[in-house]
Amino acid sequence: MKIGTLSDVQKIKQKALQELFPKKIKLSVGLGSCGIAAGADAVYDALKKEVKKKKLDIQIAKTGCLGFCGEEPMVNLYKPGFPLLVLHRVTEKDVGNIVQVLAEGDIPQKKVFCKIEHVDNFVDSEELQFGKKLKNVPHSHDIPFYQKQKKIVLRDCGLIDPENIEEFIAVGGYSSLLKVLKNLSPEEVIKIVKKSGLRGRGGAGFPTGIKWEVARNNPGDKKYVICNADEGDPGAYMNRNEMESDPHMLIEGMIIGGYAIGADEGIIYARTEYPLAIERVNGALEEAKKYGLLGKNICNSTFDFDITIVCGAGAFVCGEETALIASIEGYSGRPRPRPPFPAQKGLNGKPTVINNVETWCTIPVVMAKGPKWFSQVGTEGSKGTKVFSLVGTVKNVGLVEVPMGITLKEIIYDIGGGGIQGRKVKAIQTGGPSGGCIPTALFDLPVDYEGLQKSGSIMGSGGMVVMDERTCMVDITKYFLSFTEEESCGKCIPCRRGLEYMRNILEDITEGKGKMSQIDELVEIASVVKQASLCGLGQTAPNPVLSTIQYFRNEYEAHIRDHKCPAGVCKPLIKYFIEEETCTGCHVCVRACPTGAVLGEKKKAHTIDLDKCIKCGACFDACKFDAVRVE
């Protein structure tokens, strides 16, 4: 049916709520990319089969991702009268037992991770209430990973079926759009966004409302809104999940943006490495068209708006807005100088607003709750929440949404649970290849645009990679520079040549051929590249160099002066050996070695033939007794 009024939305909502939470047991499997890779699709198929085999009236459904990737595959268990239960680490083998227990009228306690008694989806006046049973099961908000989170953007992720528009409407979806179209002028919408203090979630943090205002006020018979979904930062996947788990949230935000600036066309520029996200957004666009939310005269208004998806083809620099526009226009993604800014002269020379996925996803909530409510969350200069992907050598990996202003310490230790395998965390890397490595001494820093910048890093789009004693800071800097060097479009010299030059020096240092004077040389080149490059890629690419020299200069010196890699990573500077007293002679390393370099009889201490050793580390990874050492 075509949606024309708010009461149409209400009608769909009432019907859909009954489907979302039916009068019977329902199991919803979290089917994001991570979940699927962890085996969730096999669990989904097995559940369907098992329920059919046993002829049970249990509904098996799909949902998005709850963000706690380390506990995947996750399954929501809805049973009328009970709290919503989250089952974790569900494998195909567990399916038979889970279904059997449910058939007997019980709860599969062993697989229960936590319970949810109510959900506030913010865009709606009423909360979703579930039963209040099972006192011994912890609330989701008592689980350390979730405790300090505040889910505004990720509110529906892992709760609704991303492939069903009606479930999105059931939790208040598209009600903000209706309110905007019926009650607010475009100028009023812009005023609200400006007042909310929302800043771009792509990394640079430009005030969203101001960008919209510039585009609105720039004359043009045609205007565009673009969603930058070219999430290129390695170690970041917030946008992937937002699109996979709640694609309509993005679409709703973009329609509101289009209305505000006077655009009739929207484009989602998504990276090709995200096939599932593209598939779900495409499906969601089709559905939105069917319901009259895209196309001509949206919801019986005079406003026309449509969205197309364009896939990027694997170029990091296309995250830069002018390069992204060039790519859509059919050219190689090379940036051009600004001004003019895209809001003045963008796609095909027309005023264009480009916002990141998460920025668009925040808009419906800002519209529903108002600027005052939104700006109460966060800090003076950074309002609202931010989603981060917490990964690397940290215990609890996953997507976390936290209020701005939370400290790094809280994210890494309270939410993340600290280092893995009892190892000590050494640094956290934020902002991808454009960011910096922040040492433990600065973990009390508040996470907001200004705080992170002060430390020499940036907020970036939200990647947070935890590093520990086994991460070599010189090697990781070399890694980032090889990345940016390869992704540099080559248009301006400081970036094209400067990055190569710095990478060569780092190559020398990690091979033990470095000189002390090269550290200062790195700093000097880095400052030139930072100041003289044309676009954000070059201007920020030196950040990893500068921050690691500032905070981990001793590691550079150890490589140069002592020819040692303290983390045991840089191959030319390390050697593996087996500690005789600790070795049990179990032969595991002998079998793991691809070149036959580990020698020794069973039950006797082994040795490594250094001439044959290719330093691949297979023995090191294989040893369960820490007998293989690296120095």
Q: Can you give the binding site for other proteins, defined by CB under 8 A?
A: 33-34, 36-38, 69-70, 72, 231-237, 240, 265, 267, 269, 272-275, 308, 310-316, 327-328, 330-333, 347, 389, 391-393, 397-398, 429, 432, 463, 465, 467, 471, 476, 479-480, 483, 487, 489, 592, 594, 616-618, 621-622
Structure tokens at 296: 């001509």
Provide the minimum distance between the beta carbon of 29 and other proteins in the complex, in angstroms, as a whole number. 16
Provide the minimum distance between the beta carbon of 246 and other proteins in the complex, in angstroms, as a whole number. 16
Q: Which is nearer to other proteins, 253 or 462 (CB)?
A: 462
Q: Which three-class secondary structure state does DSSP give residue 88?
A: coil
Provide the minimum distance between the beta carbon of 479 and other proteins in the complex, in angstroms, as a whole number. 5
Q: Which is nearer to other proteins, 32 or 378 (CB)?
A: 32
Q: Which is nearer to other proteins, 131 or 418 (CB)?
A: 418
Torsion angle defined by CA atoms of residues 611, 615, 620 and 623, in that order, rounded to the nearest 10 degrees: -40
* Selection from 220, 217, 104, 116 nearest residue 158 by Cα: 116
Give the span between the Cα atoms of 343 and 362, in whole angstroms.
20
Q: Which is nearer to other proteins, 173 or 333 (CB)?
A: 333
Q: Which is nearer to other proteins, 3 or 227 (CB)?
A: 227
The single-letter code of the amino acid at 20 is L
Q: Is the dihedral of CA 39, 43, 49, 50 positive or negative?
A: positive
Cβ–Cβ < 8 Å for 578, 608 = yes
Q: Which is nearer to other proteins, 8 or 265 (CB)?
A: 265
Provide the minimum distance between the beta carbon of 618 and other proteins in the complex, in angstroms, as a whole number. 5
Provide the minimum distance between the beta carbon of 433 and other proteins in the complex, in angstroms, as a whole number. 8
Beta strands of 299-357 (E only): which ranges? 306-311, 352-356
Give the span between the Cα atoms of 207 and 200, in whole angstroms.
6
Q: Which is nearer to other proteins, 198 or 465 (CB)?
A: 465
Q: What is the DSSP letter of 120?
A: -
Provide the minimum distance between the beta carbon of 69 and other proteins in the complex, in angstroms, as a whole number. 3
Provide the minimum distance between the beta carbon of 608 and other proteins in the complex, in angstroms, as a whole number. 16
Residue 182, H or E segment = helix 175-183
Strands 128-129 and 118-119, how do they pair?
Answer: antiparallel
Give the span between the Cα atoms of 180 and 256, in whole angstroms.
7
Q: Which three-class secondary structure state does DSSP give residue 590?
A: helix
Provide the minimum distance between the beta carbon of 387 and other proteins in the complex, in angstroms, as a whole number. 13
Give the span between the Cα atoms of 395 and 418, in whole angstroms.
6
State the number of CA atoms in the 13 A half-sphere of 105 facing the CB: 0
Provide the minimum distance between the beta carbon of 357 and other proteins in the complex, in angstroms, as a whole number. 12
Print burial letters for 458-481: b (CB count within 10 Å at least 16), e (below 16): bbbbbbbbbbbebbbbbbbbbbbb
Q: Which is nearer to other proteins, 128 or 236 (CB)?
A: 236
Provide the minimum distance between the beta carbon of 335 and other proteins in the complex, in angstroms, as a whole number. 13
Q: How far is CA 434 from CA 396, 430, 484, 488, 587, in A?
A: 24, 8, 9, 12, 44
Q: Which is nearer to other proteins, 102 or 467 (CB)?
A: 467
Q: Which is nearer to other proteins, 247 or 463 (CB)?
A: 463
Q: Is the dihedral of CA 280, 286, 291, 292 positive or negative?
A: positive
Give the span between the Cα atoms of 343 and 332, in whole angstroms.
21
